[in-house]
Amino acid sequence: MADSGGSGGSGEEHEHRLGSHPSPSPNPSSSSRKGKGKTKTYHRHTPHQTQRLEAFFKDFPHPDENQRRQLSRELGLDPQQIKFWFQNKRTQRKTQNERSDNTALRAENERIHCENLAIMEALKSVICPACGGPPLGEEERQCNLEKLKMENVQLKEEHAKASNILAKYIGKPFSHIESLLPGPRSSAEVSTASVPSHRVSVRNVDFQVSPINTASSSPLKVIPGTEMANTVEITAHAMDELIKVVRMKDQLWIESPLDGRYILHHDTYEQMFSRNYRFRGFGARLETSKESVLVTMEPSSLVSIFLDVSKWADMFHTIVTKASSIPVLEEETQVNHRTHLQLIHAQMHVLSPLVPARDVYFLRRCQQIELGKWVIVDVSYNHMKDDASPYNTWRLPSGCVIQAMRDGCSKVTWVEHVEVEDKNQAHKLFRDLVCGSLTYGAERWAITLQRMCERFAYTMLDDALTHDAVEAGITSSPVIVVPEGRRNVMKLAHRMVKNFCASLSMSGKLDFPHLSEVNNSGVRVCVRKSEEPGQPSGTIVSAATTLWLPLVPQVVFNYFRDENTRVQWDVLCNGNSVQEIARIQSGTHRGNAISIIQSSLHAENLLLLQESSIDPLTCMVVYAPIDSTAIAIALSGGDTSTVQILPSGFTISSDGRPNPGSRPSTSTSPSKPAAAAGTLLTVAFQILVSTPSGLEQLNVESVATVNTLISATVQKIKAALNCSAPE
């Protein structure tokens, strides 16, 4: 409709001018036969009608049929009059724009023509600047050209030597560094600017970076110098908005009547802030949330983690599957106040294959606004200007404010403000969680940060403090007290949990919907080739299913942690009892622990490494069989990066349905998860079905075996928890 109106507007412009419309002829056929001598009658629109149409055109230049019908009723005009008015208005606007562009182009053409004439005149009287004589002849010009070529070759050799030296210190090819610079510089300037004058480091923080977290599936485009100022302006406005949103509590934030969590008051927000960051898609859904936590880490250490995308993905491995970044800007704003700006691509996921992953491209700006206070803001940015926007998630100004507290702690206030276009709906089991902003909300980010900081603090505990777990009655198992051994086992367990979380994304999964029940999602199966270090080489079959249980998450979590009930569900036990032979406490809650388990079924050289964790939103129990030799290497402080490990486990969370009359627990009470009507339990297994020397084709029987195994395990769990009957 709009295109036809724009292209054919010149003919219609004579019949239907803006602000008027011909009265319909009682007999159109006879009217057309009367010839060109017939004078048509026009009805001029009233000023009120014209003003209303102009105002509507600003917001909706291409109204649909319903909008035209609404205007027709409101203004007392025929729908055809409305249609022709908008067609003529668009034609007029297009003509005005073209006329303005032509005028500007003619002026620019005239200016360039004058410059060419001036240059031609100057060339006629050119002289040698050195001696004042006539211009050089062809022979002398060729000699000078050869001389310049030789000097150019020599400079290239010197440039290559300098770039190799810089690459050793910076860790990136020099060509990549040059591409990030906004404009051409001399080699001396590049050498100075490429080496950061100050780099914040996390002392004693050793986060493992594995390919499964940081591999980039879609390369980022380097932001050109012409866009640099635009990105700086966007992030500056976003940071200013985030600071105001955090500070204005009563004016902007209200308690949700469903669960008592803080959500943004949209009407007030719209009045205070512009819509420059908005997602242009129709049917987009807003997710807003805010949460404050106290974490056991200094602000400078937290900031350095957010600036390093690999450490950031490692810290939030339960949320971020993949992440990559390109630095955009690093400058000194005040004394010891630095501004860092980078473009990040991240893939975020929920710990279940039933919820689609979210791909987000955003700018991250980190700035110290005062002594001991940092602001980190993320805002979406379309870095592919020439391509169609691939996003279904758009981050409005979101992030956190980090403030230094006593005893090396930090107060983190987190805000999430996201627009989501749900092209792929989440499974009905997770719909309440997703729509309630519990999957990607501020509470999940803040609690994950708090839990990971607590876990790291426990790796740095003094030897004597580890005995407190036994004395307090938390565990009767032997506690690993050797510092290096404890840290090594915790690193190995961390890698195991990361591998388990990444396996739940299940790209290219196979579904078995016929196994689905009323409160069961069916089994998802994924087959992948593994060639990564630290994992068995060959074909790995991953299977996962999610089911709803009419129990609170704490009860389900305690069931899987109990070594006495493990025989009821663990196929590795094969009906035999197990014993926890060593334990490392990784948090204040007794459920946050790493265990080494031995089964009486196996020989003494095969053990189970297990990590259990709990916070107000999610519980996890992850385990993997491991050779006793590998455990011995870890306890002795040896290198565990090559230890092959293939984890399986469970994730436990509330179903997102608030229990009437109850409020969710705060993040400061990890022993009391949020009140809910039930539990979502995700069961996931990973099995090596062939070695690299085996068959290349997928063994259908292996997939069926894994499918049968996970289905049988689910039935055993439901029977043990008295949840066999469908609700």
pLDDT class of 228 with cuts at 50, 70, 90: confident
Q: Of 12-26, 179-193, 312-326, 565-579, where does the model show the most confidence?
A: 312-326
Question: Does pLDDT of 104 surpass 80?
Answer: yes
Alpha-carbon distance values, 466 to 471, 480, 588, 597 (Å)? 10, 8, 12, 19
Nearest partner of 325 among 174, 157, 213, judged by Cα = 213
pLDDT class of 424 with cuts at 50, 70, 90: low
pLDDT class of 167 with cuts at 50, 70, 90: low
Position 724, amino acid? S
Nearest partner of 333 among 242, 400, 236, judged by Cα = 236
Pairing of strands 538-549, 648-654: unpaired
**616 or 139, which is more confident:** 616
State the pLDDT at residue 309. Answer: 93
Question: Does pLDDT of 672 surpass 50?
Answer: no
pTM of the predicted model as reported, rounded to 2 decimal places: 0.66
User: HEC states along 519-568?
Assistant: CEEEEEEEEEEECCCCCCCEEEEEEEEEEEECCCHHHHHHHHHCCCCHHH
Which 8-state DSSP code applies to residue 660? T
The Cα–Cα gap between 71 and 63 comes to 10
Question: Does pLDDT of 77 surpass 80?
Answer: yes
Question: Does pLDDT of 148 surpass 80?
Answer: yes
Question: Does pLDDT of 648 surpass 90?
Answer: yes
Do 596 and 631 form a contact (C-beta atoms < 8 A)? yes
* Mean pLDDT, residues 70-91 taken together: 88
* Mean pLDDT, residues 500-521 taken together: 64
Hey, what are 314's tokens? 């490692």
**515 or 684, which is more confident:** 684
Q: Is the dihedral of CA 366, 312, 443, 273 positive or negative?
A: positive
Average pLDDT, the chain: 76
**311 or 480, which is more confident:** 311
User: HEC states along 384-417?
Assistant: CCCCCCCCCEEECCEEEEEEECHHHCEEEEEEEE
**184 or 384, which is more confident:** 384
* Mean pLDDT, residues 186-209 taken together: 34
Do 259 and 426 form a contact (C-beta atoms < 8 A)? no
**716 or 390, which is more confident:** 716
Do 662 and 674 form a contact (C-beta atoms < 8 A)? no
State the pLDDT at residue 511. Answer: 56
* Mean pLDDT, residues 429-433 taken together: 77
The Cα–Cα gap between 397 and 276 comes to 11
The Cα–Cα gap between 683 and 353 comes to 11
Residues in the chain: 727
Q: Of 13-22, 75-84, 312-321, 335-344, where does the model show the most confidence?
A: 312-321
The Cα–Cα gap between 68 and 588 comes to 64
**283 or 250, which is more confident:** 250
The Cα–Cα gap between 697 and 4 comes to 55
**412 or 334, which is more confident:** 412
Position 29, amino acid? S
The Cα–Cα gap between 634 and 607 comes to 13
Residue 326, SS3? strand
Nearest partner of 321 among 579, 503, 461, judged by Cα = 503
Question: Does pLDDT of 231 surpass 90?
Answer: no
* Mean pLDDT, residues 446-467 taken together: 80
Find how far residue 538's CA is from the centre of its chain. Answer: 30
Range list for CATH 1.10.10.60 in the chain: 2-27+41-95
Question: Does pLDDT of 713 surpass 80?
Answer: yes
The Cα–Cα gap between 506 and 427 comes to 15
State the pLDDT at residue 142. Answer: 84
Exposure string over 679-708, b if 16+ CB within 10 A, otherwise e: bbbbbbbbbbbbeeeeeeeeeeebbeebbe
Cβ contacts of 649 within 8 Å, gap of 6 or more:
500, 620, 621, 622, 623, 684
Find how far residue 573's CA is from the centre of its chain. Answer: 39
Position 202, amino acid? V
**What element of type H or E holds 16?**
none
State the pLDDT at residue 423. Answer: 66
**481 or 180, which is more confident:** 481
The Cα–Cα gap between 577 and 582 comes to 16
pLDDT class of 639 with cuts at 50, 70, 90: confident
The pLDDT tens digits of the residues spanning 38-52 come to 555 667 888 888 888
Which spans in 562-699 are helix H? 628-635
Range list for CATH 3.30.530.20 in the chain: 223-455, 476-720
Residue in the block written with tokens 């380097």:
222
Question: Does pLDDT of 389 surpass 70?
Answer: no
Hey, what are 631's tokens? 């455990």
The pLDDT tens digits of the residues spanning 405-418 come to 998 999 999 999 99
The pLDDT tens digits of the residues spanning 559-593 come to 999 999 998 998 888 778 888 988 999 999 999 99
Question: Does pLDDT of 71 surpass 50?
Answer: yes
The Cα–Cα gap between 701 and 56 comes to 64
Which 8-state DSSP code applies to residue 463? G
Q: Of 17-21, 227-231, 275-279, 392-396, where does the model show the most confidence?
A: 392-396
476-720 is classed in which CATH architecture? 2-Layer Sandwich (3.30)
Give the N- to C-terminal CA distance of the chain in Å, as an integer. Answer: 52
The pLDDT tens digits of the residues spanning 517-561 come to 445 567 888 888 887 788 888 888 888 999 999 999 999 999 999
State the pLDDT at residue 636. Answer: 83
Do 395 and 296 form a contact (C-beta atoms < 8 A)? no
The Cα–Cα gap between 416 and 418 comes to 6
% of the chain exceeding 70 in pLDDT: 69
Please, what CATH class does the domain formed by 2-27+41-95 belong to? Answer: mainly alpha
% of the chain exceeding 90 in pLDDT: 28
Cβ neighbours, 10 Å, residue 498: 21
Residue 716 phi, psi (nearest 5): -65, -40
**13 or 250, which is more confident:** 250
The Cα–Cα gap between 281 and 57 comes to 20
Residue 552 phi, psi (nearest 5): -80, 150
Bridge partners of residue 22, in order along the sequence? 42
Q: Of 117-121, 517-521, 542-546, 612-616, where does the model show the most confidence?
A: 612-616
The Cα–Cα gap between 571 and 716 comes to 10
State the pLDDT at residue 319. Answer: 93
CATH 3.40.50.1000 assigned to domain 223-455? The reply is no
DSSP E strand boundaries for 131-193: none
Residue 649 phi, psi (nearest 5): 165, -165
